[in-house]
Structure 1
């Protein structure tokens, strides 16, 4: 076919005069899905993982592919720009725009078919990579490319970015692993595209209509630019920048699917994808090589490649240092060899012997001054890969270090020039006074990741960032490299593409854009006719956020709530569907707004003073309140989030201000004031339990208390733990290991006192002299979780007064309820930062297991010799950790299956509050409850948290979980480990106690309220 002269299309930014109300109305009328133009949703989708921010017009969550097609049709009718989005983790700004966002991840996540013989499958674009590979595991197949965000990235997003990951060393980029795509243009052309042989291409170019026009235009583009493509496209494995015009070349089979891969939603909407699969490696071995510096490690990469690794990653000493500061992956860091930089080399084989032989050959060939470690077991290999995959989060918001940002995080150069490139890049950093940022990445493909300490909040800083990026772009081009090695161009690199490709190929990109999207409605301003790289910044020189006064001190964010609200970097780990604790409400709802990331974005918008922010009413914002409503305050994000977003604390702070000076939800009174109410109930627990067993009374009480009608009211113990302690006569014996204070938390004291008695028994057997506070005390947890922070501070102040002498003597405080223990270890110091005894409380508070290991390490726990299913409490997971419990259980002979099943779903008051029951149970059914049901009768069920025990108990599993103290106490006497729990006495108990109990209760409520009002306020000098 003769070359055709194509006129340059008119490509312009979409008009701003979209009638959003009419567009929303028509979308609602015609689209089977969720149509959201509300302020909260728009705020949650206003940014991605990049430095950029653009508030969308609205969001559509289609239930089916056909619904998505209809949504595009409606947008076409209104001339509305469109952005088709996956997991939203893009680092170059391609997943935020002033457009209608089409989010596939909630419903469009089906695996439609699998052809195991042909090694192919068909998927919808919203399916998460790890979820897909779990479903393919039974076939012995997987999708090859595996970015670090594999727990939460979607296939559609991977196609949009032409993703790679560490496994691209063996399998290549997404473009190398696609068979066909079903795509839809903004103007309505729907077709399957892929490799096109000559006969099919002749047929398509001869056809009428838009399809024929598209293919004729593609042939013309190929013919016009083939020479320039061959000349100017870098011949490296990680060229992701620019459009894939090379896919149209004859040697690539005129692959239109390949052409559209990496186009970042600027050309088409992907509806379905037929993927090419690869066998799961049967055996692997991981060798880690240690070098004196990262440049020397890079120099050695070509020699390592001779051993044909399936993955070859580089990690420098700064990344390791930052992970140590942030307490990330401590076990894996201890397994690294000597050195200040590392190559992680994974080798595969059909047999264990073959994989190990490859590892030995690599080790034998390494230089003598290079140390190594070598693992071929799944646990160690997984732990070590986490070191590399934690890179982005580990290098962001490092305590004591300047904040770092994207902007030059994804360059790639020829492998044999990688060491020299890194040396020049380091010199460039020094020239711009950026210090020594961490560099790491896919060294086997010459791809370098880094985050740079740009100043993005001053005119001078933004100008310096721009100058640096322009110089860095020229540097990578001089090495024959690519501006992007896998993250894409978006806005951060779109403006720089001419430096890499030259003006002629940029004209070719514009022609391609004009061919598929002549009206520039698909993700406008990205790749082609891009926004400036210093435009639409989330911060920017004019960023002057609102700095509200707070109750929490936010010590990790310079005491500024605005800085805490900026902490999220958008990596999206909170959107993972398995493993860890974060984020239970997202796993239950699949809603961006109910992920940690989504909530963080709303809080950012709340403190942002930019005139276009959708959130305009500060602490009173209903949108922020609604997003936080399904936050379980589990604190999982405090540990699981790579930048330690602590949404539970942010929620408590928000609720404090949101309800200041106005009525609160009923649950805040009934459950927030539970410790005070429990003390009232203690005057007549049998009467209260009896009343609660009367159906109409229980219904009325739950309605008045804002409690979910599906929940049972917990049964109060007839004898509190503290009452038992007083009757017992207090401490016994001297205790050769010294004194300890057992903390009588509300849940142990009033509901499960047998746990407190068991703990005393175990501690005394281990040689401790046990004390229990005689005064009424509380950690303030329930007031914290409901945002009643002034009361919480008064309660904590009283607690410190009671414990002060013991704290100054260095006496350990033993927490039995993990959530209360976590208050002492974390929240208390942020609520009362100026009291030194609060710091002592934090340092001296221990779990039972921690104390036994630290101060009674030579005491052999009693043998229990049993199997157990163990549910970790979220607050213990997040604040104290569970290693000590694992070790004590091991020493006691307990074969513990510690569940990686996330939150139980009850989470303190959350699961009891009206309107939360369905989400609460969905969280429990995600892992905990099935594991309990599957456990046989001989298997113990352990859960130290009152919430976890209550969730299992009320779910009809027939099992009542035990606390660690109960298991160890049973082992001391040789009795069977069985829970001792209070039971409701029934309505008959009302006869002798009804009037007396009611009268006593009224008097006690009055006394408790008076006492709380008298409790010292923060700021009063300690006695």
Structure 2
């Protein structure tokens, strides 16, 4: 059979493609979301790689059948296709000038589970963690577990032939694939898997295109079989190249396995049947410390002899980077002595067998010169694994090294030669000046992970990058290894495959491509006929981003550069996870890439990049960027949860300040953005204001005119501001521990003054003399969150003038509202990085818990209650929660801490059009936790927004600030009344928001 080999598809091949007709037909035929707008195209223009290609459009099918219909329409018009899962690919295989099929939003179902056969049938968009949740009741799991397990999809794992740390025990994804339902570009839809001789003959007898494909693949396997046997490395982590070995007789002529790892260049995956493995109940974790990472690698064969479940290697550079970036701070000290470590997990069927294996491994490791430490505490084990899983983020944007990038991130060699390879590879790094890069990875399989400080913005730097890749490819081939041991070839390594496999095997791959995808429309330019590694660079020698001269934030962590700040996102996609931390609540509510931290970062990059083909053409005036940022809650969760510290709340504020410069702003910016002013005015007649703001239809009309969500109840102003009451009362107490200034933020002062009064009680009991500012001041939070940064700067300067004398005397400022306290600790220093008084304010601001836990000799009153604790997002991101946890522990409070955002987030939940998303965010973590809590459990929320959201969505629960709980306990000790309903300023009734909860089939999937 003769197969013609087509030339690679390039952009000019699409000149005759009618995009309007393509969009029209897709919209007409596909049950899903069809998007050819500039914002969607910019969002999907890159993955986690060095490359960028603006897609033709994006299709988000609601069903697998809809995805198949999209392929059919594209084939009718000749439009290329690229399938996308979690978008974390590091070799450029998830971006292309094509129609992107994003399966992750809707096609994420477990179709069936067969516990007896230990298999499951899944759709391509299901996230690995969600699959494992579904099969956990059967004591089963999917074996391979990449570090991106919280957001990588099974479709993407099959496309890339992903592995992860547990591949040590369970093999690559291909080893766990039973069969697959696939669709060729020209319409052949079939389930494929191992093919017996009888099945093969039956398929040929049926004739047609399917028979043509099977016959052609069979002939290719016969013609090139000996080349595959001699050239394909026999190592655990050969991920590079098509799995031609699965087409050989000894591979069972298994088309499912042959197509796995083809990175969407051959077929579209519709469903897959995967093998499951039992969860090992008895596990132990050891860390072996060695004098160097090379000596750690030398010990891998010894460790592998014990048949471990996991063997991971990390070096001292990774630990240094994590210390510099304050990642996993408590975990790093758990490591035993050394400068290179192996993290080893072993398992057994029973505890006695496990102990024997641990003792044997420990004895062999000590004989090999290792420091050995076993970790029996589950929390310690989890903390240690977080060190390794943070590798990608930790090695990007580090202070003492040039910017590091993927490019040679996952080569693999025979494990027994890993130490020798690391030494040779280290010499190569030094030769090119890349020697500061960290080396870590799946050492049990000889797989090395690394981000290298390539210079990708100058002609000389790009030339060195290309030269290094060629030298590295020859080195790994010399060792009998694979260019990729995990992340695939894509465009990053596709052109280098002849170095590893030889011309004959590459020719065989080209024939497979020509047979299955004769028009070269499936993810063209990747793996086969690949673009060169210096084509389509996201940066490149012509990268010329526009840098605004009139920035408000100074971005001190990014050398004052807006461009560097926007470039921070490396595409790892942790913002797409659905559990843990806060980031990213809007993505968790909507499932939209555009509403993830990564999606917004991509659009900001497109806005400033200067690329001539960028779909974002109007800079700061971009409506696409504005719309993507509209659902950003400015929660700052990404500032802490993102491994590279993207701070989208700050980027949003900076963008809004330029976007609306010299223009009329949305009404909500004048109502909620200027809340401190309106609150001050309301304080002169609070009862009248409350009556007018709760006047039924008239109020709702006013809310609509003011850009406020009409279904969101308006808070009540207190009859008396805290500051007015306190000035009449005056400071009391001995002041034996000195004087502290209590910060009367707008929310506490005007809306919940009882919180401040409670704080005064507690502080005075602890021996402090409490003062307040001599004037009505503000931190500027509401102006910052609405991007009115000129006003915010003026407000902060005025505040600083009043606070400067107190600060210069060394006085402390105690904040009660986390968002306002976070302004002093983070936003203000980033607006005025060189102001000494701002630095004093940052360093001398304390939360109530921080001050009290450091107050020697004072113990909190005993509360002895369970509590559901909703930390404010800004507390999580900027202030930290450990002091609060410690204070609660001392008070006998047993906390159940809620992860995730409450969904109100300052002005966000009040702005018109945000209510559904706001309530969906609350339904993700907060409201389920409240429903599960006992009736007697306290609800603790230091943030005004969090307390308001609980009051308005839960019903019956009365959330409290920690200061209130401690003050009530103090009063109980004195025999005074403690009924919280007697506290002033608390509304007795609220309108609940039940009709805004996510429903089945809601556009806001939670």
The TM tier, using the shorter chain, reads over 0.9
Shift in alpha-carbon separation, 1:244–1:986, aligned structure 2, 3 A: closer
Deviation, 1:178, is 0.7
The residue correspondences of 1:548-587 to structure 2 (distance < 5 A) are 548-549=548-549, 550-587=551-588
The residue correspondences of 1:636-785 to structure 2 (distance < 5 A) are 636-729=637-730, 731-785=731-785
Q: What SS class does the counterpart of residue 286 from structure 2 fall into?
A: strand
Q: What SS class does the counterpart of residue 980 from structure 2 fall into?
A: coil
CA contact (8 A) 2:401 2:453 kept: no
Q: Does 1:875 align with 2:871?
A: no
Q: Deviations over 1:883-931 (max 9, x none)?
A: 010000000000111112x000000000000000000000000010111
Structure 2 residue corresponding to 1:982, chosen from 982, 985, 996: 985
Q: What SS class does the counterpart of residue 55 from structure 1 fall into?
A: coil
What residue in structure 1 maps to residue 966 of structure 2? 968
Q: Deviations over 1:321-364 (max 9, x none)?
A: 10011111112112111111110000112334433432222112
What residue in structure 2 maps to residue 837 of structure 1? 837
Q: What SS class does the counterpart of residue 271 from structure 2 fall into?
A: strand
C-alpha distance in structure 2 between counterparts of 1:803 and 1:303, whole Å: 63
RMSD value over aligned CA atoms?
A: 1.3
Q: Does 1:72 align with 2:68?
A: no
Q: Deviations over 1:507-528 (max 9, x none)?
A: 1000000011000000000011
Q: Deviations over 1:794-852 (max 9, x none)?
A: 10001101110111111111110000010000000111223210010001111111111
C-alpha distance in structure 1 between counterparts of 2:25 and 2:126, whole Å: 27
What residue in structure 2 maps to residue 1009 of structure 1? none
What residue in structure 1 maps to residue 821 of structure 2? 821
CA contact (8 A) 1:125 1:157 kept: yes
Deviation, 1:986, is 11
Deviation, 1:689, is 1.0
C-alpha distance in structure 1 between counterparts of 2:557 and 2:568, whole Å: 10
What residue in structure 2 maps to residue 812 of structure 1? 812
What residue in structure 2 maps to residue 160 of structure 1? 159
Q: What SS class does the counterpart of residue 449 from structure 1 fall into?
A: coil
Q: Larger deviation: 152-161 or 341-350? A: 341-350
What residue in structure 2 maps to residue 920 of structure 1? 918
Q: Does 1:336 align with 2:335?
A: yes
Deviation, 1:934, is 2.1
Q: Does 1:403 align with 2:406?
A: no
C-alpha distance in structure 1 between counterparts of 2:376 and 2:186, whole Å: 53
Q: What SS class does the counterpart of residue 447 from structure 1 fall into?
A: coil
CA contact (8 A) 1:83 1:523 kept: yes
What residue in structure 2 maps to residue 1014 of structure 1? none
Q: Deviations over 1:716-744 (max 9, x none)?
A: 11111101111102x22441221111100
Q: What SS class does the counterpart of residue 803 from structure 1 fall into?
A: helix
Deviation, 1:956, is 3.7
The residue correspondences of 1:288-327 to structure 2 (distance < 5 A) are 288-327=287-326
Deviation, 1:9, is 2.9
CA contact (8 A) 1:691 1:698 kept: yes
What residue in structure 2 maps to residue 52 of structure 1? 51
Shift in alpha-carbon separation, 1:35–1:985, aligned structure 2, 3 A: closer
Q: Deviations over 1:682-719 (max 9, x none)?
A: 00111111222220222122112211111000011111
CA contact (8 A) 2:733 2:767 kept: no
Q: Deviations over 1:583-607 (max 9, x none)?
A: 0000111101000000000000000
C-alpha distance in structure 2 between counterparts of 1:328 and 1:434, whole Å: 23
Q: Deviations over 1:462-512 (max 9, x none)?
A: 000111110011000000000000100001100100000111111100000
C-alpha distance in structure 2 between counterparts of 1:11 and 1:118, whole Å: 44
Q: What SS class does the counterpart of residue 366 from structure 2 fall into?
A: coil
The residue correspondences of 1:883-962 to structure 2 (distance < 5 A) are 883-900=882-899, 902-962=900-960
Q: Deviations over 1:598-651 (max 9, x none)?
A: 000000000011110000101100000000000000000000001000000000
Q: Does 1:199 align with 2:202?
A: no
CA contact (8 A) 1:690 1:984 kept: no
Q: Deviations over 1:940-976 (max 9, x none)?
A: 0000000100000011431111111111111212265
Aligned length: 980
CA contact (8 A) 2:753 2:985 kept: no
C-alpha distance in structure 2 between counterparts of 1:986 and 1:152, whole Å: 40
C-alpha distance in structure 1 between counterparts of 2:493 and 2:201, whole Å: 36
Q: What SS class does the counterpart of residue 884 from structure 2 fall into?
A: helix
Q: Larger deviation: 628-637 or 246-255? A: 246-255
C-alpha distance in structure 2 between counterparts of 1:728 and 1:436, whole Å: 61
C-alpha distance in structure 1 between counterparts of 2:361 and 2:669, whole Å: 62
C-alpha distance in structure 1 between counterparts of 2:655 and 2:436, whole Å: 37
CA contact (8 A) 1:104 1:126 kept: yes
Q: What SS class does the counterpart of residue 93 from structure 1 fall into?
A: coil
Q: What SS class does the counterpart of residue 656 from structure 1 fall into?
A: helix
C-alpha distance in structure 2 between counterparts of 1:266 and 1:422, whole Å: 32
What residue in structure 2 maps to residue 350 of structure 1? 349
What residue in structure 2 maps to residue 135 of structure 1? 134
Q: What SS class does the counterpart of residue 344 from structure 2 fall into?
A: strand
Deviation, 1:981, is 5.0
Q: Deviations over 1:5-43 (max 9, x none)?
A: 533333441612211111101111111110000000000
The residue correspondences of 1:121-520 to structure 2 (distance < 5 A) are 121-367=120-366, 369-520=369-520
Shift in alpha-carbon separation, 1:813–1:184, aligned structure 2, 3 A: same
The residue correspondences of 1:26-41 to structure 2 (distance < 5 A) are 26-41=25-40
TM-score using structure 1 length: 0.95
Q: Larger deviation: 8-17 or 263-272? A: 8-17
CA contact (8 A) 2:323 2:329 kept: yes
C-alpha distance in structure 1 between counterparts of 2:401 and 2:837, whole Å: 29
CA contact (8 A) 1:689 1:984 kept: no
CA contact (8 A) 2:864 2:894 kept: yes
CA contact (8 A) 1:410 1:484 kept: yes
C-alpha distance in structure 1 between counterparts of 2:40 and 2:857, whole Å: 56
Q: Larger deviation: 139-148 or 397-406? A: 397-406
Shift in alpha-carbon separation, 1:352–1:744, aligned structure 2, 3 A: farther
TM-score using structure 2 length: 0.96
Q: Larger deviation: 251-260 or 235-244? A: 251-260
What residue in structure 1 maps to residue 994 of structure 2? none
C-alpha distance in structure 1 between counterparts of 2:765 and 2:850, whole Å: 16
C-alpha distance in structure 2 between counterparts of 1:943 and 1:163, whole Å: 41
CA contact (8 A) 1:739 1:811 kept: yes
Q: Larger deviation: 971-980 or 220-229? A: 971-980
